[in-house]
């Protein structure tokens, strides 16, 4: 069984309420790709469309962010850092608010290795380097940049107050607040605090980083996450602590009251959580046994509980067991065969990820062939069926032979029969296309033999 040769640090936050109107941190699509050339051809991403091949070959790491994924920060092999995109309210950090389709260099971050990035809908950006330094820029009306002021920041500036001699390993943003995790397991937060999201015990905004204490005082945190106006941390024994806004039950405490200081989720007693992730108003956790639990807003079915009712307590996510075991077997496989992700376009890669979460695909018929290839490599039969249905919708005389060839190559029998019948019904036109003239010899031989058997050449 093949496996993907791709190391991806991927944080995808899906908004719980309106996918269009809110524009909060929960909507950021952030992906950091290491050794990009071997793993993913970023040249297929629309945001890099105007970059030259020479520039693309130098990209080592890319972070796509923004309310619609229209901004990108990337690092080259020699650790130069560039940005491009729409620059909403200065979120590119270029010193102005001008959007750019040409890469612009961020001198402040050049020479530093970017470890992680998070985006808040203000908008503001928080970055941590491999050395553990923190840089922020963007909107700052609520002191979410952590510099003690409410002045907007148009260029990256290091946040040092209370973080001196601390190595930050993880960052997270709410809509207007920020949070970081240090290598020694401490959590620091700052910014907007109308619902207690910085965990200080009050609702006063926090202009500089302050350590979140209370129930976390003697705990070692290993993971953090922010919703729109709430915050969460997983500690080393697998407990989850939450604080902030709770109007949709996103804290998992069984109530809808706000929480100004960290509180352990009692309903997860005896369950060891490894990771937590927040949407706009809902939360998911992954346990050490591979189980998913979700709670909070559910008007779009984002909790995966089988209904659309909000959930104030953690509820297990319904996952098809066979499919779960199928992908588990892929991850645990030690076969040396490798699927090179550079073989597939951005559209195919994105469609595959969407399928994993939604059980459906939405892409043009011409891109479905690449997805059919990927589905075949993963032996994902249900996805193959969906691809075949999509491809059928795009068949015409000009591409019928190419689709037939693809169907044979990927052992898609239903599609193969469909394409064959289409070719027979349009035989005169199909045989005059370039595709027919360039048809593989063995495939042509089999096509003629099968066409003869169904009487295609009778007078």
* CB neighbours of residue 382 within 10 Å: 14
- Measured CA to CA in angstroms, residue 249 lies from 44, 305, 458 at distances of 40, 15, 71
- Structural domain ending residue among the three candidates 275, 304, 319: 319
Confidence band for 125, pLDDT divided at 50, 70 and 90: very high
Above 80 in pLDDT, residue 209? yes
Contact 222, 169 (CB under 8 A): no
Shared domain for 153 and 9, answered yes or no, is yes
- Mean pLDDT on 18-41: 35
User: CATH number for the domain including 389?
Assistant: 3.30.710.10
Contact 179, 144 (CB under 8 A): no
Count Cβ atoms within 10 A of the Cβ of residue 90 and give its class: 0-12 exposed, 13-18 middle, 19 or more buried. buried
d(CA 397, CA 325): 41
- Mean pLDDT on 130-157: 97
Select the highest-mean-pLDDT range: 25-34, 186-195, 329-338. 186-195
Residue-level pLDDT at 27: 29
Shared domain for 315 and 355, answered yes or no, is no
Residue-level pLDDT at 108: 96
- Using DSSP's 3-state secondary structure scheme, residue 152 falls into coil
Contact 263, 251 (CB under 8 A): yes
Q: Is the residue at 326 inside a domain?
A: no
**Number of domains comprising the chain:** 2
Contact 436, 430 (CB under 8 A): yes
Average pLDDT over the chain, rounded to an integer: 85
Compute the half-sphere exposure of residue 96: CA atoms within 13 Å on the CB side of its CA.
Answer: 6
Shared domain for 226 and 353, answered yes or no, is no
Tokens of 104: 């612009």
Contact 454, 427 (CB under 8 A): no
Shared domain for 126 and 269, answered yes or no, is yes
Higher pLDDT, 335 or 272: 272
Query: Which residues face 135 on adjacent strands?
Result: 127, 158
Shared domain for 12 and 61, answered yes or no, is yes
d(CA 439, CA 421): 17
Give per-residue pLDDT as tens, 267-309.
999 999 999 999 999 999 999 988 899 999 999 889 988 889 9
- Structural domain ending residue among the three candidates 304, 319, 334: 319
Above 80 in pLDDT, residue 346? no
d(CA 423, CA 404): 9
Above 90 in pLDDT, residue 321? no
User: CATH number for the domain including 61?
Assistant: 2.130.10.30
* CB neighbours of residue 141 within 10 Å: 15
Beta strand 8-12 with 273-278 is unpaired
d(CA 249, CA 450): 62
d(CA 329, CA 290): 13
Shared domain for 311 and 355, answered yes or no, is no
Q: Is the residue at 324 inside a domain?
A: no
Shared domain for 309 and 372, answered yes or no, is no
Angle separating helix axes 400-409 and 381-392, nearest 10 degrees: 170
Q: Is the residue at 37 inside a domain?
A: yes
* CB neighbours of residue 20 within 10 Å: 10
Contact 24, 228 (CB under 8 A): yes
Residue-level pLDDT at 18: 32
Residue-level pLDDT at 29: 34
Q: Is the residue at 338 inside a domain?
A: no
- Measured CA to CA in angstroms, residue 388 lies from 347, 369, 419, 426 at distances of 17, 8, 10, 20
Confidence band for 320, pLDDT divided at 50, 70 and 90: low
Q: Is the residue at 328 inside a domain?
A: no
Shared domain for 219 and 73, answered yes or no, is yes
Above 70 in pLDDT, residue 335? no
Higher pLDDT, 351 or 232: 232
Instruction: Look at the block and give the residue holding tokens 């604080």.
Output: 243
pTM, two decimal places: 0.67
Give per-residue pLDDT as tens, 401-414.
999 999 998 889 89
Above 80 in pLDDT, residue 6? no
d(CA 48, CA 44): 7
Residue-level pLDDT at 350: 80
Tokens of 235: 């500690």
Shared domain for 151 and 204, answered yes or no, is yes
Measured in residues, the chain has a length of 459
Above 90 in pLDDT, residue 22? no
Q: Is the residue at 337 inside a domain?
A: no
Tokens of 214: 């209370």
Residue-level pLDDT at 359: 79
Q: Is the residue at 171 inside a domain?
A: yes
Taking the alpha carbons at both ends of the chain, their separation in whole angstroms is 49
Residue-level pLDDT at 329: 56
Q: Is the residue at 335 inside a domain?
A: no
Shared domain for 303 and 351, answered yes or no, is no
- Using DSSP's 3-state secondary structure scheme, residue 357 falls into helix
Shared domain for 34 and 119, answered yes or no, is yes
Shared domain for 381 and 313, answered yes or no, is no
Contact 288, 275 (CB under 8 A): no
Give Rg (Cα) of the chain: 25
Q: Which domain holds residue 442?
A: 345-453
């Amino acid at each position: 069984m093949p496996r993907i040769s791709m190391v991806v640090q991927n944080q995808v936050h899906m908004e719980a309420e309106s996918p269009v109107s809110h524009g909060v941190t929960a909507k950021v699509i952030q992906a950091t790709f290491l050794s990009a050339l071997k793993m993913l051809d970023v040249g297929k991403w629309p945001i890099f469309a105007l970059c030259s091949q020479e520039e693309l070959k130098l990209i080592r790491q890319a972070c796509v962010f923004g309310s619609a994924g229209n901004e990108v920060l990337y690092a080259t092999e020699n650790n130069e850092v560039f940005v491009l995109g729409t620059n909403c309210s200065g979120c590119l950090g270029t010193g102005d608010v001008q959007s750019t389709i040409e890469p612009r260099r961020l001198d402040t971050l050049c020479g530093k290795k970017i470890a992680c990035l998070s985006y808040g809908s203000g908008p503001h950006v928080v970055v941590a380097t491999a050395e553990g330094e923190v840089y922020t820029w963007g909107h700052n009306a609520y002191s979410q940049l952590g510099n003690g002021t409410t002045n907007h920041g148009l260029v990256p500036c290091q946040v040092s107050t209370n973080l001196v001699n601390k190595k930050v390993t993880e960052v997270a943003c709410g809509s207007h607040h920020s949070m970081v995790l240090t290598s020694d397991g401490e959590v620091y937060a700052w910014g907007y605090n109308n619902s207690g999201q910085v965990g200080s015990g009050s609702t006063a905004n926090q202009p500089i980083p302050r350590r979140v204490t209370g129930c976390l005082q003697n705990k070692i945190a290993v993971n953090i996450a922010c919703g729109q106006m709430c915050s969460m941390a997983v500690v080393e024994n697998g407990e989850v602590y939450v604080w902030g806004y709770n109007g949709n039950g996103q804290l998992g405490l069984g109530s809808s009251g706000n929480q100004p200081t960290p509180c352990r989720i009692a309903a997860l007693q005896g369950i060891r959580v490894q990771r937590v992730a927040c949407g706009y108003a809902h939360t998911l956790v992954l346990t050490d046994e591979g189980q998913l639990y979700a709670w909070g807003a559910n008007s779009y079915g984002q909790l995966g509980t089988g209904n659309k009712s909000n959930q104030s307590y953690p509820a297990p996510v319904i996952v098809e067991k066979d499919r779960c075991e199928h992908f588990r077997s892929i991850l645990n496989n030690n076969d040396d065969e490798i699927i090179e992700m550079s073989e597939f376009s951005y559209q195919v890669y994105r469609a595959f990820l969407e399928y994993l979460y939604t059980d459906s695909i939405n892409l043009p018929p011409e891109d479905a062939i690449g997805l059919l290839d990927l589905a075949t490599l993963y032996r994902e039969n249900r996805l193959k069926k969906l691809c075949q249905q999509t491809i059928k919708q795009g068949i015409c005389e000009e591409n019928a032979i190419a689709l037939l060839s693809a169907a044979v190559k990927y052992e898609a029998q239903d599609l193969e029969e469909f394409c064959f019948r289409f070719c027979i019904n349009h035989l005169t036109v199909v045989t005059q296309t370039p595709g027919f003239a360039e048809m593989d010899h063995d495939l042509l031989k089999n096509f003629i033999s099968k066409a003869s058997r169904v009487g295609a050449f009778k007078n």
